């Protein structure tokens, strides 16, 4: 495979100049922190969307601040400042949806980073697939059972044949299943598709090299999104997000970054966490947001926002080292983000609706408390399920390696 080819001098210089890698044991803590920030942002967004219920203008539409100020109707300079602050807060809360793209990037990164050490899965691809299935499905099945029996959940869909399809991993066909029961589960279907084609992508990356691999994946992504948007299912926007061909760029970008990070750790760190990279991430993310309102530019939106936001959050994570407790908390949430993702949305929908009578400060405080409870419960559940799977399928003392 064609890799980045820094000179020996450049490698030595980067080793001296780059920050020390933030890692404890086999995990990359900065990556776990990115996961923690992303999942908490997404969870809060789901609460916030139900709470606001269209009371505020959409920040991705034109003239957002003008509309927000007109709605707020400030009568003084101090009130104007407060209204602008509220508009900024609403925009930040509502712009959480691109954080899903960050998880796609991180998934490609984590899978490839783990394999790049040996360039092949230790147990072969069949063993690799088995480990992914064992990692993904037990907690996913548990989330389905919790949905059936738990109180305080929003339930808008009947239990029908789609429950069985969903239980066994189908979140793409029929298209009505994409947001069935728990809308967040569309991402499970997407990541399962990407896991299925990952061996092919990994071999292709080795054969053609990083540059042509990215070019090919960008081409496939653009083509798939164009065909679906303009020729087949113009009314089903969720198919664009849930079909792996439409999200291939983010996954491929993560794969290339993962193998490069493994091969040229210090050299990549120096560039990824540089100021030019941060500004590049901001420009990509901003450009992606501007792509939201046109069908043609929407072809490029997820690739731009996912890539750009990953770089931005990576920088935020990198600098969180100065706040040791915050870093540890966010990293812990990131390690167990899978359980929180699978379970949170029916609760966020239910409680978000119930809290519509509250003021904004009251809502924020109450939501923070509920998210804390759900996060703790989900992390304990995920640990318990993983431990149970280890005991059932593996010898004691030989825990199952987690999928990245």
pLDDT band at 14, cuts 50/70/90? very low
How does DSSP assign 29-42, residue by residue? Answer: HHHHHHHHHHHHHH
Indicate whether 396 pLDDT > 90. no
To the nearest whole percent, how much of the chain has pLDDT over 90? 70
Q: Tell me the residue ranges of DSSP E strands in 238-373.
A: none
CA-based diameter of the chain, in Å?
69
Closest CA to 382 of 50, 35, 26, 130: 35
Indicate whether 65 pLDDT > 70. yes
Please state which of the ranges 42-46, 69-73, 347-351, 376-380 shows the lowest mean pLDDT: 69-73
Q: What is the mean pLDDT of the chain?
A: 88
Spatial separation of the C-alpha atoms in residues 98 and 212, rounded to whole Å: 26
pLDDT on residue 26:
54
Residue 149: CB partners within 8 Å, gap ≥ 6?
Answer: none
Average pLDDT over residues 156-160: 94
pLDDT band at 260, cuts 50/70/90? very high
Please state which of the ranges 11-20, 94-103, 377-386 shows the lowest mean pLDDT: 11-20
pLDDT band at 48, cuts 50/70/90? very high
pLDDT on residue 61:
84
pLDDT band at 255, cuts 50/70/90? very high
Q: Which residue has the tokens 């509309």?
A: 67
Average pLDDT over residues 333-360: 96
To the nearest whole percent, how much of the chain has pLDDT over 70? 89
Please state which of the ranges 1-15, 133-147, 252-266, 318-332 shows the lowest mean pLDDT: 1-15
Q: How far is CA 312 from CA 86, 289, 319, 328, 398, in A?
A: 22, 14, 11, 19, 37
């Amino acid at each position: 495979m064609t890799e980045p080819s820094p000179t020996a001098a450049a490698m030595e210089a980067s080793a001296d100049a780059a920050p020390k890698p933030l890692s404890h044991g086999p995990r990359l803590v900065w990556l776990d922190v990115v996961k923690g920030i992303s999942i908490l942002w997404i969870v809060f967004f789901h609460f916030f969307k139900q709470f606001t219920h269209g009371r505020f203008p959409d920040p991705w539409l034109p003239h957002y601040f003008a509309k927000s100020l007109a709605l707020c109707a400030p009568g003084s300079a101090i009130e104007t400042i407060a209204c602008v602050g509220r508009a900024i807060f609403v925009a930040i809360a509502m712009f959480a949806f691109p954080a899903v793209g960050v998880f796609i990037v991180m998934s490609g990164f984590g899978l490839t980073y783990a394999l790049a050490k040996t360039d092949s899965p230790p147990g072969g691809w069949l063993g690799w697939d088995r480990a992914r299935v064992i990692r993904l499905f037990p907690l996913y099945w548990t989330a389905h059972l919790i949905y059936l029996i738990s109180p305080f959940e929003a339930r808008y869909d009947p239990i029908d044949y789609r429950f069985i399809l969903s239980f066994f991993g189908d979140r793409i066909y029929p298209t009505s299943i994409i947001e069935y029961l728990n809308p967040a589960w569309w991402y499970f279907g997407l990541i399962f598709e990407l896991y299925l084609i990952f061996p092919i992508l990994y071999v292709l990356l080795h054969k053609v090299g990083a540059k042509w691999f990215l070019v090919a994946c960008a081409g496939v992504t653009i083509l798939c999104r164009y065909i679906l948007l303009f020729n087949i299912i113009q009314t089903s926007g969720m198919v664009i997000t849930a079909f792996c061909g439409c999200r291939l760029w983010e996954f491929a970008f993560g794969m290339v970054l993962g193998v490069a990070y493994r091969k040229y750790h210090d050299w990549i760190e120096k560039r990824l966490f540089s100021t030019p990279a941060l500004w590049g991430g901001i420009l990509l993310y901003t450009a992606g947001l501007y792509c939201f309102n046109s069908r043609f530019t929407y072809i490029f939106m997820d690739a731009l926002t996912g890539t750009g936001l990953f770089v931005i959050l990576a920088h935020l994570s990198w600098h969180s080292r100065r706040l040791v407790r915050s870093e540890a908390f966010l990293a812990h949430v990131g390690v167990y983000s899978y359980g929180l993702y699978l379970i949170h949305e029916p609760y966020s929908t239910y409680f978000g609706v119930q809290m519509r009578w509250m003021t904004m400060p009251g809502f924020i405080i109450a939501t923070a408390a509920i998210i804390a409870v759900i996060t703790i419960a989900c992390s304990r559940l995920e640990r318990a399920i993983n431990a149970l799977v280890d005991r059932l399928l593996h010898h004691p003392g030989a825990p199952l390696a987690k999928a990245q």
